[in-house]
Chain A
């Protein structure tokens, strides 16, 4: 372990330290919002470190003997997770009041998970992936049950924990197969030693053309990760947990947790299992189609706002999987291989903005009215024009209409898919957009056209308004001028496909 290693891991490290500090200092910070304020201030450290890492980015740099890699992908995702955490914390200033005196624990657990996610994005061997994943998951299980006073509050935590455990067992079994087939846990080898990829290419172990251990491992790992991605067949927990868990936790799950999971899936499959792309890209393409369709169709039948957001999350996981399925080998032109990962990363960032906006509106409304149904949005335009407008923007973005980042993001995903010959998937994806329009715009419709159930105005806490404003601005600005973020995503994706 060198100082350099510490620097490379410093965003995650600082997050963990900040989390610990918050837990310890929680009881001392008695003033309302103090925990959040400290957390936000503290988040500037990982943020600054992340920016500094990005600025000094020079290809991929291994740390801890290859257990971790600091490259565009990891730093990009680290920044994304940090920003998302910051926004969630900012938005939950008033929400977290109800957890006093455990506000410190609330913020701390969130940041522990964020640390795990940041590590996950840079994890470069199977063991590190596993432990990072657990670090990211287990605190969330606790957080999901944080609203234990509410009906279903604990249930969300129990479901998350149990299903996460089953999924991680499946994932582990897949890892075991990969290990057995290749004889190594490493995705990269700073010293030029063997990696999973080289072992697969060398025909090591199980993958001797007709052998199946690598594929079994890949399939089990895909489903295992699918839990975090909300990918079929491991998506079913999503709406239940989003419904039961506190809204900020759902937002964090939908954005940060899913983002890091996509990063690690991209890394494992394109870097580690790149040599057998042809086999798993079909799997992801089919699962993408099923996932988005299941998510969108089920969302049609929802009456609960939080569940709706859950299903919406599933659908968007499906869209993003298109980018995963768009693998380099199938791309039409040498050098185009990074379009898929680029699109996924761009979409992740854009999705973070639009989805957080939707969650924040849900947070503001449910917080104030306690009504979680879609019907509870009735007359929102009269009760709070700001929230209604934000809801409209995010709904339009989630549908994928211009001039929002949702449109551009989908465009990039479709672009990548067509580039790898997945034209059918694009048609399925675009038609799914049609289905989604139905329920997203229904939200707008309810908010603007229905008579309010109560004339009482819905006030928006200032902190939440700021978070919401940031998200909405990002949605619109990135929709009109996506090139900047696209360049970042491109740099980040270059780590995967040289």
Chain B
């Protein structure tokens, strides 16, 4: 079960990465990043559920939830990232009238 979850996670991660690298639309890139973060969460949850926490032997039952807690934080951070990203998209549209990331390349060489 652990392995299939991890492979799923890896697959989602790579799909997300592909999206982040190929989408022209800035929001598309953000979508890709969200998929990557989600993939990480799958891995975190899988580990949390199927791997023995190092502290378990000491009776720290909560240690089983560390992965889930981490995933929770990731979700929130991801949301924050998206929020800031969308703000930037709006400013970008205002200032450059584009959401095409390939056109956002004034800064180079």
Chain A residues in 8 Å Cβ range of B94: 148
Q: Select from chain A the residue with minimum beta-carbon distance to B74.
A: A172
Prevailing SS type, chain A contact patch: helix
Chain B residues in 8 Å Cβ range of A240: 107-108
Chain A residues in 8 Å Cβ range of B6: 180
In the complex, A152 has a CB within 8 A of chain B: yes
CB distance from B2 to the nearest CB of A (A): 8
Which residue, of A127, A158, A182, has the highest number of chain B Cβ atoms within 10 A? Answer: A158
**Cβ-neighbour of B40 out of A173, A183, A184 (below 8 A):** A173
In the complex, A153 has a CB within 8 A of chain B: yes
Is the CB–CB distance between B44 and A166 below 8 Å? no
Is the CB–CB distance between A138 and B80 below 8 Å? yes
Q: Select from chain B the residue with minimum beta-carbon distance to A174.
A: B40
Is the CB–CB distance between A182 and B95 below 8 Å? no
Once A127-B73, A162-B30, A198-B54 are accepted as A-B contacts, the answer to whether A172 and B67 lie under 8 Å apart by CB is: no
Is the CB–CB distance between A194 and B30 below 8 Å? no
In the complex, A86 has a CB within 8 A of chain B: no
Is the CB–CB distance between A154 and B96 below 8 Å? yes
Is the CB–CB distance between B70 and A243 below 8 Å? no
Is the CB–CB distance between A138 and B84 below 8 Å? yes
Which residue, of B70, B80, B96, B101, has the highest number of chain A Cβ atoms within 10 A? Answer: B70
Q: Select from chain B the residue with minimum beta-carbon distance to A306.
A: B107
Q: How many residues of chain B have a CB within 8 Å of chain A?
A: 54
Is the CB–CB distance between A172 and B88 below 8 Å? no
Is the CB–CB distance between B20 and A172 below 8 Å? no
Chain B residues in 8 Å Cβ range of A142: 84, 87-88
Which residues of B from 50 to 95 have beta carbons under 8 Å from A? Answer: 51-58, 60, 63, 66-67, 69-70, 73-74, 77, 80-81, 84-85, 87-89, 91-92, 94-95
In the complex, A165 has a CB within 8 A of chain B: yes
**Cβ-neighbour of B53 out of A149, A158, A184, A307 (below 8 A):** A184
**Cβ-neighbour of A193 out of B29, B43, B58, B84 (below 8 A):** B58
**Cβ-neighbour of A154 out of B30, B55, B69, B91 (below 8 A):** B91
Q: Select from chain B the residue with minimum beta-carbon distance to A198.
A: B54
Chain A residues in 8 Å Cβ range of B29: 162
Is the CB–CB distance between B80 and A134 below 8 Å? yes
Which residues of A from 85 to 105 have beta carbons under 8 Å from B? Answer: none
Is the CB–CB distance between A127 and B107 below 8 Å? no
Chain A residues in 8 Å Cβ range of B105: 155
CB distance from B108 to the nearest CB of A (A): 7
A411–B91 CA distance with the chains assembled, in angstroms: 46
Once A127-B69, A166-B33, A199-B54 are accepted as A-B contacts, the answer to whether A161 and B44 lie under 8 Å apart by CB is: no
In the complex, A205 has a CB within 8 A of chain B: yes
A149–B95 CA distance with the chains assembled, in angstroms: 7
CB distance from A197 to the nearest CB of B (A): 11
13 more A-B residue pairs beyond the given contacts A148-B95, A165-B20, A173-B36, with a C-beta to C-beta distance below 8 A: A138-B84, A162-B29, A165-B30, A165-B81, A172-B40, A179-B70, A180-B47, A182-B54, A183-B56, A185-B70, A193-B58, A240-B107, A241-B107
A selection of 25 A-B contacts at a CB cut-off of 8 Å is A134-B77, A138-B80, A142-B84, A148-B95, A149-B95, A153-B95, A156-B107, A158-B89, A161-B85, A162-B26, A165-B20, A165-B30, A165-B85, A169-B17, A173-B36, A177-B43, A179-B67, A183-B53, A185-B70, A194-B55, A194-B58, A199-B54, A205-B51, A240-B108, A241-B107
Which residues from chain B sit less than 8 Å from chain A, CB to CB?
6, 9, 13, 16-17, 20, 26, 29-30, 33, 36-37, 39-40, 43-44, 46-47, 51-58, 60, 63, 66-67, 69-70, 73-74, 77, 80-81, 84-85, 87-89, 91-92, 94-96, 101, 104-109
